[in-house]
Chain A
Amino acid sequence: MNSHKNIINIALVGNPNSGKSTLFNSLTGLTQKTGNYAGVTVEKHQGKFEYKGTTFEVTDLPGTYSLFPKSLDEEVACKTILNSSNDKLDVIVIVADATNLKRHLLLATQLIDLKIPCVLALNMIDEAEKQNITIYKNDLENLLGIGVVFVNSRKKIGLEELKAEIVNAKISDSIFYNFEKQLKLFPNLKTYRELVDKQFTSNEVESIQIKQFEKEDNISRFYKLNYIIAKCLKKPEQLNKSITQKLDSFFTHKFFGFLFFFLILFIVFQFVFFVADAPMNWIDEAFASFMNFTSNALPKGELNDLLVNGILAGISGIVIFVPQIALLFFLISVLEDTGYMARASFILDKIMQKFGLNGKSVIPMISSVACAIPSIMSTRTISNWKTRIITILVTPLISCSARLPVYTLIISIMFKDEHMIYGFNYKGIVLMGMYLLGFAAAFLAAFVLKFILKTNEKNYFIMELPVYRMPQWQTIGMLVFKKVKLFLFNAGKIILAISVVLWFLTSHAPSNVFNQLEEKAIVLNTPEDELNAQKLEHSYAGIFGKKIEPLIKPIGFDWKIGISLITSFAAREVFVGTMATIYSSGDSENTETLREKLSSEKDVNTNLPVYTSAVCWSLLVFYAFAMQCMSTLATTYSETKHWKWPFIQLVFMSVLAYGSSFIVFTILQK
Chain B
Amino acid sequence: MTLDQLKLGQTAVVQEFTDDFLSLKFIEMGCLPGEIVKVVNIAPMQDPIAIEVSGYVLSLRKQEASTVVITLLNDVVLNKTN
Question: Chain A: residues with CB nearer than 8 A to chain B?
Answer: 65-66, 68, 70, 99-100, 102-103, 106, 211, 214-215, 218-219, 222, 244-245, 248-249, 252-254, 257-258, 342, 345-347, 349-351, 353, 458, 460-465, 467
Contacts and interface: CB of A to CB of B under 8 A. Distances in A.
Given A70-B24, A215-B27, A218-B32, A465 B58 contact: yes
Interface pairs A-B: 8 shortest CB-CB: A254-B44, A103-B30, A350-B45, A465-B57, A66-B28, A461-B61, A65-B28, A462-B60
A460 B24 CA distance: 12
Interface of B: 20-30, 32-33, 40-41, 43-48, 50, 54-61, 64
A349 B43 CA distance: 9
Contacts of B41: 248-249, 252, 346, 465
Contacts of B56: 100, 103, 464-465, 467
A257 B41 CA distance: 13
Contacts of B47: 349-350
Contacts of A100: 54-56
B22 A462 contact: yes
26 contacts: A68-B24, A68-B28, A70-B25, A103-B54, A106-B30, A215-B23, A218-B24, A219-B32, A222-B32, A245-B40, A248-B40, A248-B41, A248-B50, A249-B41, A253-B44, A254-B44, A346-B41, A347-B45, A351-B45, A458-B21, A460-B61, A461-B61, A461-B64, A462-B29, A463-B58, A465-B59
B45 A346 contact: no
A577 B3 CA distance: 61
Instruction: Describe B's contact surface by its main secondary structure.
Output: mixed
Given A103-B55, A252-B44, A257-B44, A462 B32 contact: no
B59 A346 contact: yes
Instruction: Describe A's contact surface by its main secondary structure.
Output: helix
A615 to B, nearest CB: 44
A276 to B, nearest CB: 32
B18 to A, nearest CB: 13
A462 B21 contact: no
A258 B61 CA distance: 19
Given A460-B61, A462-B59, 13 more contacts: A65-B29, A68-B28, A102-B55, A103-B29, A103-B30, A106-B28, A219-B32, A257-B44, A346-B41, A346-B59, A353-B61, A461-B48, A461-B59
Nearest to A17: B56
B43 A346 contact: yes
Contacts of B32: 218-219, 222
Contacts of A351: 45
Contacts of B64: 460-462
Contact of A211 (B24, B40, B48): B24
A461 B43 CA distance: 13
B48 A258 contact: no
B16 to A, nearest CB: 11
A293 to B, nearest CB: 56
A211 B20 contact: yes
A347 B44 CA distance: 6
B24 A461 contact: no
Nearest to A212: B20
Contacts of A215: 23-24, 27
B60 A463 contact: yes
A364 B62 CA distance: 26
Nearest to B56: A100
A350 B45 CA distance: 7
A464 B31 CA distance: 12
A225 to B, nearest CB: 9
Contacts of B44: 252-254, 257-258, 347
A222 B25 contact: no
Nearest to B62: A350
A109 to B, nearest CB: 12
Contacts of A214: 24
Contacts of A211: 20-21, 24
A460 B22 contact: yes
A128 B74 CA distance: 31
A102 B29 CA distance: 10
A460 B66 CA distance: 13
Contacts of B22: 458, 460, 462
A349 B48 contact: yes
A336 to B, nearest CB: 16
Contacts of B45: 347, 350-351
Contacts of A218: 24, 27-28, 32
A445 B23 CA distance: 33
A465 B28 contact: no
Given A70-B24, A218-B27, A222-B32, A464 B58 contact: yes
A462 B43 contact: no
A350 B27 CA distance: 24
Name, among B21, B28, B43, the residue most crowded by chain A CB atoms within 10 Å (CB to CB): B28
